[in-house]
Amino acid sequence: MFFQTDQLQHLLDNLQAKGYACIAPQVRHETIIYDEITSVVQLPQGINDQQQPGSYSLSANNGSKYFDWANGPQAIKPLLFAPTEMLWSSTRNADGNISFSAVEKSEKKLAIIGARACDIAALKIHDLHFLQQQFVDPYYQARRENLLIIAVNCSHPADTCFCYSTGDGPFVKDGGDIVLTELQHGFLIAAQTEQGENVLSKLVLQESTAEQCAESERIKSNASKQNRQLPKLDVKSRLFDELDSETWHTIAEKCLSCGNCTSVCPTCFCHSENEVPELDGKSSSHYREWDSCFGQGHSYIHGITIRNGTSLRYRQWLTHKFSSWIDQYGRSGCVGCGRCITWCPVAIDVTESVAQIVEAP
Amino acid sequence: MFDMNPYLPHEALIIERIQEAPELFTLRLEFTEPEIQHRYKFEPGQFNMLYLYGVGEIAISIVSDPEDGNIIDHTIRVLGRVTRGMNKLKKGDRIGLRGPYGRGWPMQEARQKDVVLITGGLGCAPVVSAINYIQQRRAQFGRLNIVQGVKHSDDFIWKDRYDQWRELPDTKVLLAADVGAELWPWHIGPVTVLFDQLEFDPQNVCVMMCGPEGMIRATCDHMLEKQVLPEQMFLSMERNMQCAIGHCGHCQYGDKFVCKDGPVFSYDKIRDLFAVKGF
């Protein structure tokens, strides 16, 4: 189906009427971030992004499209798996009795507009990790159940994108509620779930024409031409064959162990638990916060740091992401979004790192 | 409120505190809510997350017997912020407890087999839970071998228990210290030199180990030479555990989460990475 660009505001209004807060891209801090909007004028219209290893910038192209860019540093991850959140609190009375209470479930309904194929692939991985293993994470679950996803197919991959090579993009296969393709004069729109159908039924839509479908196919074909890719070798076993490779040390000489890559990675799930007691001693709060395998404390056990250097930490990150992740979740932990390349302050390119390790003679 | 929030501790009362050694103590705990205590079941080798009010949580293995009524024992060494604080607690004080977590020792599988229990380093609570379990059900197991190695003979604790275990039928207790003080009556040197004294049928044995990974590696090599199957060799691993439910990522060991896939693993499951620096 097709709808005119001016219907986009109706979509926002309808979602808000259904009680959703609309989370959508907007230009802020010289990048594109996702936050609440109420009007389409807040969207990044006529904006392109330029991404290179270690650099990100935006420019105006005077066009009318809203989604003419690849991605920003955030994805869906912070909306469901909060960067920091309280899990529970405890109080202690004068007799020394301790009582615990969990943080109440979040009932806020969120509609995310403009999620990309890579982000949705990452979301599915987090669903597996937080919801479909032995233990269900109630905090993630509460937000997940209240999330509606309006995805947008990618038209302009960045120089750092390689989702075509991981098989996750540039178009959304499934996992969204609604998928949009932005054409020159409007959007193709399709529902992928019943929830999505309900939203669609409130919009004024037209049958899409053959010409519009052909335009969409051209966009897909262009967006699939990406500058970067992963090696076509057996990366999974090659990485563990090369645990002693000198290349780990070569990369580590450059790597700052800053953890930017793990922060922007849409699939990294490590987090630490921290206690924040009140000064009066009567109560205390228990938080979790994103953590990184690049940090000193990540592998610490009573006096021993198991990964006491950058080469071991980089090796942990890469072998986990591209190899042991497959044993854990049935697929690689990389969705090809390229964020770790763009946001690395020293421009380490993960596709190059993997190639250097696995293509060693 | 979540009914089954796996992150939420429950209040537990310290029924008794036992000083085992200068830096080692046992807390005997009971949930204050009878319903929670009633539902609570565990296996030897599993662990709990203990919470010290206002300070934080720590993973500690359970040393009491699963059929020991309502009391849950934890033997704790003073090592960090949480354990230093817990060391000051007394009978009647309260802490938080959630658990049990992980996979414990294969006690059912070990029935009717010879058992070799090897521990090294500073008091090894996870293996002690297995020894206690066998002691209570001695007739269900074959020959029993208990081997303990310590760095210095002064580190040897629980002498009374070892004396008790030595009195059990068909049981051999072997002790070694890398450095022995005067009058240390046992072996001086690494535990591995004691292995020739072990009595077991390599085709019908269950080996359970806990301690420094170098010692475990040496033990596994010896057992493999004796034709013991790696599937019959079990070890309890230690890694940074914060959530205990396989979510926080700290305890990952290759593709394993030590907190939920372990802490007890059979050797065949982890031998590829075992003792590889950085994992």
Report pLDDT for A345. Answer: 98
Report pLDDT for B1. Answer: 31
Least Cα separation, residue B62 to chain A (angstroms): 18
Report pLDDT for B161. Answer: 86
A200 and A253 inside one domain: no
Q: How confident is the model at residue B3 (pLDDT cuts 50, 70, 90)?
A: low
d(C-alpha A24, C-alpha A40), whole Å:
9
Whether B255 and A275 lie within 8 Å, measured CB to CB: no
> Is B278 contained in some domain?
no
The residue among B101, B117, B151 that closes a domain is B101
Count contacts between A and B (CB, < 8 Å).
Answer: 129
B210: domain CATH number?
3.40.50.80
A187 and A267 inside one domain: no
Smallest CA–CA distance from B239 into chain A, residue: A301
B145 and B165 inside one domain: yes
B172 and B220 inside one domain: yes
d(C-alpha A9, C-alpha A3), whole Å:
11
> Is A90 contained in some domain?
no
For the cut 80, the answer to whether the pLDDT of residue B233 exceeds it is yes
Whether A291 and B248 lie within 8 Å, measured CB to CB: yes
As for how many domains chain B has, the answer is: 2
C-beta separation of A211 from A185 below 8 A: no
For the cut 60, the answer to whether the pLDDT of residue A281 exceeds it is yes
B247 and B176 inside one domain: yes
Pick A79 or A62 by higher pLDDT: A79
For the cut 90, the answer to whether the pLDDT of residue B151 exceeds it is no
A74 and A192 inside one domain: yes
Whether A100 and B249 lie within 8 Å, measured CB to CB: no
Which residues on B lie below 8 Å from A299 (Cβ)? 239-240, 250
Whether B245 and A134 lie within 8 Å, measured CB to CB: yes
Q: What is the ipTM score, two decimals?
A: 0.94
Say if residue A142 is exposed, middle or buried (CB neighbours under 10 Å; 0-12, 13-18, 19+): middle
B53 and B111 inside one domain: no
Report pLDDT for A360. Answer: 79
A147 and A256 inside one domain: no
For the cut 90, the answer to whether the pLDDT of residue A233 exceeds it is no
Whether A269 and B95 lie within 8 Å, measured CB to CB: no
Backbone angles phi and psi of A101, in degrees to 5: -140, 135
Smallest CA–CA distance from B243 into chain A, residue: A273
Nearest beta carbon to residue A135 from set B92, B247, B252? B247
For the cut 80, the answer to whether the pLDDT of residue B232 exceeds it is yes
For the cut 60, the answer to whether the pLDDT of residue B2 exceeds it is no
Task: Please state whether the predicted TM-score (pTM) of the whole model is above 0.90.
Answer: yes
> Is A92 contained in some domain?
no
Q: Read off the pLDDT of each residue in A278-298 and give the average, rounded to a whole number.
A: 96
Q: Read off the pLDDT of each residue in A66-90 and give the average, rounded to a whole number.
A: 95
Smallest CA–CA distance from A315 into chain B, residue: B278
Query: Of A341, A61, A5, A14, which is closest to residue A201 (Cα–Cα)?
Result: A14
The residue among B70, B101, B132 that closes a domain is B101
B137 and B153 inside one domain: yes
B56 and B144 inside one domain: no
B83: domain CATH number?
2.40.30.10
B230 and B116 inside one domain: yes
> Is A71 contained in some domain?
yes
Strand partners, B17: B27
Q: Read off the pLDDT of each residue in B148-170 and give the average, rounded to a whole number.
A: 86
Domain of residue B254: give its range: 107-270
A130 and A73 inside one domain: yes
Q: Read off the pLDDT of each residue in B255-266 and give the average, rounded to a whole number.
A: 97
A263 and A318 inside one domain: yes
The CA angle B119-B121-B123, to the nearest 5 degrees, is 70
B27 and B52 inside one domain: yes
Residue B250 DSSP symbol:
T
> Is B279 contained in some domain?
no
Distance set, CA B26 to CA B93, B100, B129 (Å): 14, 17, 13
B125 and B88 inside one domain: no
A58 and A186 inside one domain: yes
* DSSP helix, strand, coil percent of chain B (3-state; round to 5): 25, 35, 40
A257 and A143 inside one domain: no
A25 and A148 inside one domain: yes
H or E stretch at A285 = strand A283-290
Report pLDDT for B178. Answer: 81
The residue among B101, B116, B133 that closes a domain is B101
For the cut 80, the answer to whether the pLDDT of residue B183 exceeds it is no
d(C-alpha A52, C-alpha B155), whole Å:
57
Whether B242 and A303 lie within 8 Å, measured CB to CB: no
A12 and A129 inside one domain: yes
Whether A291 and B255 lie within 8 Å, measured CB to CB: no
Query: Of A258, A265, A266, A233, which is closest to residue A356 (Cα–Cα)?
Result: A233
As for how many domains chain A has, the answer is: 2
Q: Which two tokens stand for residue B171?
A: 């049981």
Which residues on B lie below 8 Å from A303 (Cβ)? 79
Strand stretches in A154-282, DSSP E: 178-183, 186-191, 271-277
Out of A36-40, A247-251, B23-27, pick the least confident. Answer: B23-27
With a CB cutoff of 8 Å and minimum separation 6, the contacts of B97 are: B9, B10, B11, B12, B29, B31, B48, B49, B50, B51, B72
Whether A99 and B11 lie within 8 Å, measured CB to CB: yes
> Is A329 contained in some domain?
yes
Please state, for a pLDDT cut of 90, what percent of chain A lies above it. 94
The CA angle B266-B267-B268, to the nearest 5 degrees, is 95
A299 and A337 inside one domain: yes
Domain of residue A307: give its range: 235-358
d(C-alpha B249, C-alpha A291), whole Å:
9
For the cut 70, the answer to whether the pLDDT of residue A109 exceeds it is yes
* DSSP helix, strand, coil percent of chain A (3-state; round to 5): 35, 25, 40
Please state, for a pLDDT cut of 70, what percent of chain B lies above it. 98
Q: What is the CA radius of gyration of chain A?
A: 22
Whether B252 and A320 lie within 8 Å, measured CB to CB: yes
The amino acid at residue A333 is G
> Is B277 contained in some domain?
no
A260 and A193 inside one domain: no
With a CB cutoff of 8 Å and minimum separation 6, the contacts of B22 are: none
Nearest beta carbon to residue B247 from set A104, A269, A286? A269
Q: How confident is the model at residue B122 (pLDDT cuts 50, 70, 90)?
A: low
Average pLDDT of chain B is 92
Report pLDDT for B4. Answer: 80
C-beta separation of B100 from B90 below 8 A: no
Report pLDDT for B112. Answer: 96
Please state, for a pLDDT cut of 70, what percent of chain A lies above it. 100
- The dihedral formed by the CA atoms of B79, B83, B88 and B91, expressed in degrees to the nearest 10: -130
Average pLDDT of chain A is 96
Q: Read off the pLDDT of each residue in A43-68 and give the average, rounded to a whole number.
A: 96
Q: Read off the pLDDT of each residue in B51-67 and give the average, rounded to a whole number.
A: 95
Query: Of A75, A83, A72, A76, which is closest to residue A270 (Cα–Cα)?
Result: A83
With a CB cutoff of 8 Å and minimum separation 6, the contacts of A70 are: A49, A51, A116, A154, A156, A157, A158, A160, A161, A338
> Is A93 contained in some domain?
no
The two beta strands, B114-120 and A84-92, are unpaired
Residues of B with CB under 8 A from a CB of A: 1-2, 5-11, 32, 51, 53-57, 79-80, 92-96, 238-240, 242-243, 245-250, 252, 254-255, 260, 272, 276-279
Q: Read off the pLDDT of each residue in A196-223 and give the average, rounded to a whole number.
A: 95
